[in-house]
Each structure stands twice: as C-alpha cells, then as structure tokens.
Structure 1
Amino acid sequence: MTRWIAADWGTTALRITLMEGDRPLDTRASGDGMNSLTRDMFEASFLSLAGDWIDDKSHGPTQVFACGMVGARQGWAEAAYRTTPCTPLDGGLTRVVTADPRLDVRIVPGVRQLTPHPDVMRGEETQIAGILRALPDFDGVACLPGTHTKWVHLSAGEIVSFRTAMTGELFATICSQTVLRHSLVGDAWQEETFLAAVSDALSRPEVLTARMFELRAADLLHGQEAAVARSTLSGLLIGAELAATKPWWLGRDVVITGSPKTTRAYDVALKSQGLAPRILPADAMTQAGLIAAKDAA
C-alpha cells in the first residue's frame, strides 16, 4: 500500500505523520511553525524532518497532505479561503510548486465567513472533516478550543456558520504581560472556583474587566492563592465567551475537539449549563480530516 505524509503545520509547530493508507506508522514534530519561517524556508524545513520518509523519485513523488497556517498568505503557498456555507473539504486542494521532484504537496484551504460577521479559520476545517468522518450524521455545534476558539454550526455535512473567540490568547497574554501575572503563577486549577466564575460571567458579562482586577487586589490584600486566581480568570473568560456564543450552543448537540486541558474546561462549563458534550481528541480528528482530504483529492 502506498505511503504518504499527513502534515499539521501551524503558527508555532509542525507535526507530521507517516501514513500507510489510513494507518499511521510514525509521528514527528518540530518547532518550525509558520511564524519562524519565510516562504523559501518551508521546503527545507519539511525535508529536514521528513527526509528519510521520502521515496526515491523512481517510485514516483511522495504525496503530502497539509493543513493549517502552512496555507496562509505567509505560508508555503496560499490556499485561498472557501466561503460558508460549504463542506469542510472538497477536491480543490492547493498544489505547492516544489524544488524537490520527489514531493507532491497539497494544502487544504481555509474557510471564511462573510456574513453575518466576518470570520476565518485555517486548520479547524480539517478537524471538522475528521469529526464528520467519525460522526457522519452529526447535526449540531463543534467547539474547537485553543488560542482562538471556534464554535461551528454543522448541518447536513456543511459548515453553516461559525464564531471565533480569542479566549486562549487573552488568557495567555493576561498571565504573561499584565499586572495580573504576579498573582497567576503556576498551573493549578480548581473546578469549583472555575465554575463559579463561569456562572458569574455568563449572568453578568459586563463586569468582566472589573472582576479581573479584583484578582490582583485579593492577592495584595488577602493573599489569595494563585490557583484561585487562575481558575477564576479562566472561568470569567470562558463564561464571557459562552455568553457571546450562546446562539451557537444553546439547545444543540455539542462536540468538543481540543487538547485534554482545554477540553476539560469547556466540558465542565457546558455541563454546568445542562449540555452533555461529546469529546473527540484533536490530533485524531486532524489526522482523520487529512485522510478525508486525501480521499477527496
């Protein structure tokens, strides 16, 4: 069976998997994300990680199916956005012109939304294709937590609409670059404290920034534990996000696909609102989506 390579190439990292049909054989990763490369560096970076997986050209070029920021304007080759409503994948992959004749590289396009509000995604469409491969009849919302969390309405195999929240990036920035950083050290997390903050932000999202400064004051005046502050901040930000995205998740089936840590937070937050989310691992869904992209090519 022919071997090929699945590549998840994001802003800060590259993850590749050697595949034989639908079966993964080996996985490697590097820190060569889009942000650290110029366009003329992508091919060399890929070959430095996957070089010994590439067949001799006498056997024909090795197919590579890639998703993520590798297809951005600053990536290896720009893969133009498709417009909602649309399926997460079709056969219109972007082919990359390579110097090495042993490579046949194709990139999954991102998805854009023009109305009712502008929005874009790159990489998440491949995870959505993986979700629909695992749950072909799913009709509901995919929650894809991360730096920029996506809430995606799926119906009849299509992306109907979606909404992005910068919750993950805000949390990281607040923890590292604001006055609150002194009160947020460590990585401890308290679920009860988190859920109380989720409820507070959902019912009173207008107090978000004021409640955030209370975390610093409580530390200075009462020696509040960093675990309490981190859990409260996380709950306030995710609660405000749930308030903003309520039209997407309220009364709908929800699937969460993300890292274990972020998935747990969104899972308990949604359960506190009476939902019963299903959990699908992010890496597995990305791989399944790239298999679907290969099948559609």
Structure 2
Amino acid sequence: MSAQAGIFDGTELWLWDLDSASSAPTRTNPENRSALAVIAGTAASPRNLPCTALPETLQSPDIPPLSQDHPRTVTRGEEVTLAGFIAQNPKFDGILCLPSATSTLWAHVSAEEIVSMRRFLTGTLLGAAFDGLTLGDPEAFSEALSDTMSRPEHAALRLAALKTAVDLDEIAPTEATSRATAALIGTELAATRSYWLGQPVAVIAPAPLRAPYRTALESQFVPVSQADGHAITLAGLRLARERLTR
C-alpha cells in the first residue's frame, strides 16, 4: 500500500501519494489524518526564522510550520514546498513566490535558509468580488499592473470601478477579473519592491496561478523562473518522510 502525506489548509486536507509518479493531490475529509506518513498544517510548534524550511530530523509526522514576528506570518504547508524547491535548487539565492487560491507567500531564501516572509491575501480578496487569479489579455493586464504600481493607494478604487463595470455589462467578467488581478498583484509588487528588486524570483504554483505573477514580474524586468507547485510540494513531502526518525 502506498504511503500518503497531507497538508491541512485550515479547511480541507490535501493528500499526496508519496510512491506515485503523479504529483497531483486529492482532497479528502480533514479527519482522515491518522494513517498519514507525514502531515503539514497541524498545531506543531513553529520554528522561528531564519531557519531551514524543514528541520534536520522530524520527531513525529507533524511537520512544524515556519514563524515570523514582523510582519506576523506563519506558514500552513508552504514550508514543505519551500523545502522541496531548495532541495532541488540548493544554490538558489533570491525570492520564492508561492501563489494559492487564497493567499500568496513571498519568501527570501539565502544559503538554503528562509530569511524572511511576506503574505498577501490576494486570492481571498479577488474571490470576494471576482473569480480568482486570472491573467486574461497580457497587454491589458500589464497596463492595469503599471497603473496600480504607480498609484497603489488607488487599488481598492480600481476594484470597485471594475465591479461596477461588470454589473453594468460594460466589461466581460473574465477581463474584469484579469484587471483586478493585475491591480492586486501590482500592490504586492509595490509593497515587496525591496524584496524582488535586483533579485531572481521563482514562482511556484500550478500553471494557472503562476501565469499572472510571471507576467507581472517579467513586465518589471525581473529574472523569473517557474516550477510546478504540486511536483515541488511532493518532493518536499518525500524529503520530510526521509527525515522522520520513527
């Protein structure tokens, strides 16, 4: 029987088959945790930055999250993805960007350690009024991004105007969602400028979530690489299993 590992995101439990060639996770009831080889997103005691993404040894199947006091940030499974990427790219020194449907975590990596983190509730904010992270037309996306980066304090105003335009059938919902995505990512880039300016950035997520961030960063002439979030997370979970002492 194949060993399974999981990540609890606060609502749902996502399972990976550690012995499968497929990196795609499946969703299950959060109560189905007892037989897992390793699991992230539990109440395990967090590890404070700076530190490695995973401890050298795990005393139990519960993978400890990473914690930072200012700004207050705690990972919920992303430590596994960070570990998987660093294991495959040990010489990487720069910024990792991990978008999800609810939030985006930015992490500064140096000498195989996580130095600092920033989290933005971009996906949650988009989902409240639009349809989630969407690239749409790259030219219109980049224009909306540039406008927001020049005046990030107007981001909420732009979202309200786009929502009104959708309600009045003046713009297609998909295109409005794309421009709203650009506006919120624009505020992220403005807030993290000291992070990514002059640094390589790796965007780690499934392809639909990577696309808007890649386009946004490339429009700012940032050297961007990409990695599939599911595959990298599976690699991190396998690494965690290897470090389990019992």
Q: TM-score, normalised by structure 1?
A: 0.74
Q: Using the alignment, how far apart are the partners of 1:26 and 1:215 within structure 2?
A: 37
> Is residue 79–residue 108 contact of structure 1 (8 Å, CA) maintained in 2?
yes
Deviation at 1:220, TM superposition (A): 5.8
Query: CA 1:204–1:283 in structure 2 vs 1: closer, same or farther (change >3 Å)?
Result: same
Query: CA 1:112–1:191 in structure 2 vs 1: closer, same or farther (change >3 Å)?
Result: same
Query: Where is the helix percentage greater, Structure 1 or Structure 2?
Result: 1
Picking from 13, 27, 32, the partner of 2:29 is 32
Picking from 189, 208, 211, the partner of 2:155 is 208
Superposition pairs for residues 104-119 of structure 1, below 5 Å?
Answer: 106-115=61-70, 117-119=71-73
Which deviates the most, 233-242 or 24-33? 24-33
Q: Which fold has the larger relative contact order, with Cα–Cα distance below 8 Å and residues 6 or more apart in sequence?
A: 2
Picking from 180, 188, 202, the partner of 1:255 is 202
Query: CA 1:26–1:167 in structure 2 vs 1: closer, same or farther (change >3 Å)?
Result: closer
Superposition pairs for residues 31-180 of structure 1, below 5 Å?
Answer: 31-33=28-30, 42=31, 45-46=32-33, 64-67=37-40, 69=41, 71=42, 78-91=43-56, 93=58, 95=60, 106-115=61-70, 117-146=71-100, 147-175=102-130
Q: Using the alignment, how far apart are the partners of 2:180 and 2:123 within structure 1?
A: 11
Structure 2: gaps of 5 or more residues: none
Q: Residue 144 of structure 2 aligns to a residue in which SS?
A: helix
Q: Using the alignment, how far apart are the partners of 1:209 and 1:27 within structure 2?
A: 35
Q: Does 1:243 align with 2:208?
A: no
Q: TM-score, normalised by structure 2?
A: 0.88
Query: CA 1:288–1:235 in structure 2 vs 1: closer, same or farther (change >3 Å)?
Result: same
Which deviates the most, 266-275 or 225-234? 225-234
Per-residue Cα deviation, 1:118-164 (whole angstroms, up to 9, x for no partner): 21112111100000111011100000011121110000010000100
Query: CA 1:152–1:188 in structure 2 vs 1: closer, same or farther (change >3 Å)?
Result: closer
Deviation at 1:28, TM superposition (A): 6.2
Q: Residue 37 of structure 2 aligns to a residue in which SS?
A: strand
Structure 1: gaps of 5 or more residues: 34-41, 51-62, 72-77, 96-105, 176-183
Q: Using the alignment, how far apart are the partners of 2:23 and 2:222 within structure 1?
A: 37
Q: Residue 117 of structure 2 aligns to a residue in which SS?
A: strand
Partner of 2:18: 19
Q: Using the alignment, how far apart are the partners of 2:229 and 2:63 within structure 1?
A: 17
> Is residue 109–residue 122 contact of structure 1 (8 Å, CA) maintained in 2?
no
Q: Using the alignment, how far apart are the partners of 2:44 and 2:121 within structure 1?
A: 23
**Counterpart amino acid of residue 189 in structure 1:** G
Q: Using the alignment, how far apart are the partners of 1:293 and 1:221 within structure 2?
A: 51
Partner of 2:9: 10
Per-residue Cα deviation, 1:247-289 (whole angstroms, up to 9, x for no partner): 1111101111112111001000000000121111111111111
Q: Over aligned residues, Cα RMSD in angstroms?
A: 2.5
Q: Residue 16 of structure 2 aligns to a residue in which SS?
A: strand
Q: Residue 18 of structure 2 aligns to a residue in which SS?
A: strand
Query: CA 1:148–1:221 in structure 2 vs 1: closer, same or farther (change >3 Å)?
Result: closer
Q: Using the alignment, how far apart are the partners of 1:64 and 1:221 within structure 2?
A: 52
Q: Does 1:267 align with 2:214?
A: yes
Query: CA 1:87–1:206 in structure 2 vs 1: closer, same or farther (change >3 Å)?
Result: same
Count the aligned residue pairs: 242
Percent identity for Structure 1 against Structure 2? 33
Query: CA 1:159–1:200 in structure 2 vs 1: closer, same or farther (change >3 Å)?
Result: same
Which structure is larger by alpha-carbon Rg, 1 or 2?
1
Q: Using the alignment, how far apart are the partners of 1:26 and 1:269 within structure 2?
A: 27
Q: Using the alignment, how far apart are the partners of 2:129 and 2:2 within structure 1?
A: 44
> Is residue 107–residue 116 contact of structure 2 (8 Å, CA) maintained in 1?
yes
Per-residue Cα deviation, 1:45-84 (whole angstroms, up to 9, x for no partner): 247xx7xxxxxxxxxxxx70112x2x1xxxxxx2111000
